[in-house]
Chain A
Amino acid sequence: MKLASYRPIALVLARELLITGLLLFGVSLVVFTILYLAPGDPFSLLLEGQMPTEEARAGIREAMGVPKAWYAQYLSWLGHMLRGDFGTSVRTGLPVLAETLRVGFNTLVLTLGSMLVTLLIAVPIALYAAVRGTNWLSWPLTMLAYLVSALPVFWLGYIVLYVFMHKFGLFPLAFGFASSQKLSWLYFLLPVLVLGVGSGTISEVVRYLREEMGRVMEEDYIRTARAKGASVWRHAFKEGFLIPVTEIIAAKIPFILGGAVIVEQVFNWPGMGRMAWQAAQDRDFPVIMGIAILAAVFVRCGTLLQRVVYVAVNPRASKE
């Protein structure tokens, strides 16, 4: 590519970064509002045992420098967060950011891996159905995609666990399976497969991609390509494949992250989802706040990437 062709991408990147920043600001405001409205803020929860009366608590608040007004609280929280200080977990006393990033990597692996599984299953079905229409093969395959997408993912997880424990003699330990060195790669693969198949996104990917590909196949330029004897696939690739796939991936990241909460629970996968679950049980506010914000950052990064791909494929879009 020539240098000039990077210009629209750079423009869009700058604009999208600005939008992302604005949105993340909104995200922090939403998270703060929810927890501000919560009955019994974590600070009073901590003090309850030590300071029985309201006056004593009010005094200690000021002494410890906890501001009263909501905007002062928000700004001090935001300021700490921007400096990378998300506070410490109420339960473990460990710094939230370091802990979340540590387990966040596991969730990232799980999410990206399962997305790949979803695409590997859904894309061939969608492309086949788009090119050949509804026939004896594409209809059962589409039905299968629907059926699999309606399965409760935790039940699927249990079935897989049962099969592997009884048929292969593998036992779940703290991190997936680890009783047989030879099969240790399974502790990574199994949850990824279960989430990829059971997250409920396969049917939507199939439907969306089939619709988009079907639409592109009817465009005039595809007809021209076919008439010239050029490769139809090469011409349909950008509009009919690359754009819809990146769009659906970006749109489904939040969904798959939600599924990860459940799959991590079933497989004891030490990730962000499990941590969020634990934090919700303990009302561990700093942790759940940190996770919500990091998850939003993750989702926004996905959207950013999708926009970049979109503009790289279609530079006209940078002028919208």
Chain B
Amino acid sequence: MKKYSQKPGEISEFSDLPFWKKADGVDLAYVGYGLLIVTLVVASYLLGMFKLLPHDPEEISLELLMAPAGTPGYLLGTDFMGRDILTRLILGIQAYFLPGLLAIAIALLFGTLLGVLAGYRGGWVDTAITYFTNLVDSFPRMVLILLVVAAFKPDIYYIMLVVGITNVPVVASLIKGKIQFLRQKSFIEAAIALGLPTKTIIWKHILWHNCKALLIIQATIGMGEAILMETSLSYLGFGVQEPTPSWGNMVQAGSNYFMQGKFWPSTAPALAILFTILGFHLLGDGLNNILEGKRNK
């Protein structure tokens, strides 16, 4: 239900100042924190990919069951089987990183395509696309995922395919709104009057120069949603299975020891989820305020 709204001719649109001088301090702080989280996630993903880990993720040490954080050699302690939590957190990023990118790619690609068609063509194409987006929006995402899981198999890539498709309507409606707004502007009118091919107008003048920021923001938000979905489904038992670590199944496995008062093995991944999703949300919001000129006064 995101609506695109922009007032023409805001001051920020014409000023030559670089964006970080025009921006609010709060927004810059949001973006800074978000970029920090993105860097950490990407770095950890690479560490996990090249197996540069402090411990073997499946190494069981029986003398160190559920060690608290700060135990020498085990920075974040160990879980109920004596496995290093830090190692498993780093490796847990593998569970959602590439699938999340797949979901984002699907959402951006098809969202842009449908948005451009609906915004630029209009008419019955617009009606058909509106029908499609309303149709996708009719399903609760979780129910659709459970349906796909039941029909095919509990595989993270199938799940992310659904996440990607269910994100298409948001991207499509944003792009459509943006195009309807841009079409009233004189530079698009001039481009049409000059006889530029439609392809150039759409690719260069609309998408490249005016929709870049919007797509980056949607990608950021999409990553946050992918993490949330992966962890939720791992919790429900349809995602990544033990002993392969994922943040969701770490929370789930650790929660069995909750009632004994052992919080940490479950809380450590929960905090990782919390701060990562927060980072992606704030990055998206900060970028939105800075690049799209929506200021909350």
Contacts and interface: CB of A to CB of B under 8 A. Distances in A.
Given A162-B258, A210-B296, A277-B146, A292 B139 contact: yes
A174 interface: no
Contacts of B96: none
Given A22-B131, A158-B266, A261-B236, A31 B141 contact: no
Contacts of B296: 129, 133-134, 210-211, 214
Given A284-B150, A285-B150, A23 B138 contact: yes
Given A31-B147, A279-B150, A147 B140 contact: no
A221 B259 CA distance: 57
A210 to B, nearest CB: 6
Interface in A27-55: 27, 30-31, 34-35, 37-39
Contact of A299 (B137, B150, B297): B137
A185 interface: no
A6 B277 CA distance: 45
Interface string B114-149: 000000000000000001001101111111101111
Contacts of B14: none
B255 interface: yes
A162 B263 CA distance: 10
Given A150-B278, A152-B274, A279-B150, A254 B255 contact: no
B147 A23 contact: no
Given A38-B151, A149-B281, A265-B236, A254 B146 contact: no
A41 to B, nearest CB: 10
B1 A248 contact: yes
A189 interface: no
B38 interface: no
A23 to B, nearest CB: 6
Majority secondary structure, A binding face? helix
A177 B150 CA distance: 30
B290 to A, nearest CB: 15
Majority secondary structure, B binding face? helix
A166 B258 CA distance: 11
A114 interface: no
Interface in B45-89: none
Contacts of B228: 152, 200
A277 B236 contact: yes
B270 interface: yes
Contact of B251 (A154, A165, A258, A284): A154
Interface residues of A, number: 69
A175 interface: no
Interface in B214-273: 224, 228, 231-232, 235-238, 248, 251-252, 255, 258-259, 261, 266-267, 270, 273
Nearest to A210: B296
Nearest to A149: B281
Contact of B281 (A34, A203, A295): A203
Contacts of A18: none
Nearest to A35: B151
A70 interface: no
Nearest to B288: A207
B151 A276 contact: no
Given A154-B235, A158-B258, A257 B251 contact: no
Contacts of A289: 147
A37 B148 CA distance: 10
A39 B278 CA distance: 39
Nearest to B138: A296
Among A161, A165, A277, chain B packs the most CB atoms within 10 A around the CB of A277
B285 A207 contact: yes
A10 interface: no
Contact of A262 (B5, B224, B236): B236
B238 A280 contact: yes
Contacts of B140: 253-255, 257-258, 295, 299
Nearest to A306: B1
Nearest to B148: A34
Contacts of A34: 147-148, 151
B79 to A, nearest CB: 15
Given A146-B281, A254-B140, A299-B138, A280 B146 contact: yes
B133 to A, nearest CB: 11
B134 A23 contact: yes
Contacts of B259: 162, 165
A283 interface: yes
A9 B248 CA distance: 46
23 contacts: A30-B135, A34-B147, A38-B151, A150-B277, A152-B273, A154-B252, A155-B267, A155-B273, A162-B258, A211-B296, A214-B297, A247-B1, A255-B140, A258-B142, A258-B232, A262-B235, A283-B150, A284-B150, A288-B147, A289-B147, A292-B144, A292-B147, A299-B140
Interface of B: 1, 5, 26, 131, 134-135, 137-144, 146-152, 224, 228, 231-232, 235-238, 248, 251-252, 255, 258-259, 261, 266-267, 270, 273-275, 277-278, 281-282, 285, 294, 296-297
Closest 5 CB pairs of A and B: A258-B142, A251-B1, A38-B151, A254-B140, A155-B270
Interface of A: 19, 22-24, 26-27, 30-31, 34-35, 37-39, 129, 133-134, 139, 146-147, 149-155, 158, 161-162, 165-166, 200, 203, 207-208, 210-211, 214-215, 247-248, 250-251, 253-255, 257-259, 261-262, 265, 273, 276-277, 279-281, 283-285, 288-289, 291-292, 295-296, 299-300
